[in-house]
Amino acid sequence: MALLRNKTGIGMTSLRTRERMITRLREQGIKDEVVLHVMGEIPRHIFVDEALSIRAYEDVSLPIGFGQTISQPYTVARMTELLRHGGPLGKVLEIGTGCGYQTAVLSRVADEVLSVERIRPLVMKARGHLRTLKCVNVKLDHADGSEGLAEFAPFDGIIVTAAASHVPQDLLAQLAVGGRMVIPIGTSAQILTLIENTGKEFRQTKLEAVKFVPLLGGVSA
């Protein structure tokens, strides 16, 4: 696609650099080839300021303004892999759009993505990025993510890209039977947690230490 070829650039933003990122993700234990393929396709450097584009494919989080960050590639791949669980996704809710990178990845592996961001300028920035990549199956809302989007529930998958002190009950209520939620839990020490709705219980599995900005309520202009 010509649009993406124009965005690939040279050096640190080249396709070869993306391929090195995918090799590193495999070495780090990411096994879902669908996720790896998608992350190899999406140009991460367009989601960060031009001054930081040289670091876009390093395995680091980067600032995107307003005290927020774009998650490191491994974290994006890991959370997406957990959500997919080796199969297709229907309707997915993302809490914390940020710059839209995780959203773009989800748009390639799910039928429909609804994403909520509390900071209005980030919503506008993400819309621009997703429009550039022609992510037509995404709906962005400027709203309090801790409340979810009950009017569109239930969701087959829920992904939370900010750390909550506890599992938000509103989000549990919006998870479909058989659905999965991936969420970092904790304050100073955060653990990536998988929650599965079995229909009888919400089964929790604690996975690995992570570092996210905190999940905040309310909205910000």
Residues serving a catalytic function are 71
Tell me how far apart the alpha carbons of residues 191 and 65 are, in angstroms, rounded to a whole number.
Answer: 24
Dihedral sign, Cα of residue 169, residue 170, residue 173, residue 175 = negative
Structure tokens at 182: 């991936």
- Greatest Cα-to-Cα distance within the chain, rounded to the nearest angstrom: 52
User: Using alpha carbons only, what angle is made at residue 177 by residues 171 and 183, rounded to the nearest 5 degrees?
Assistant: 35
Decide the pairing of beta strands 190-197 and 202-210: antiparallel
Tell me how far apart the alpha carbons of residues 145 and 93 are, in angstroms, rounded to a whole number.
Answer: 10
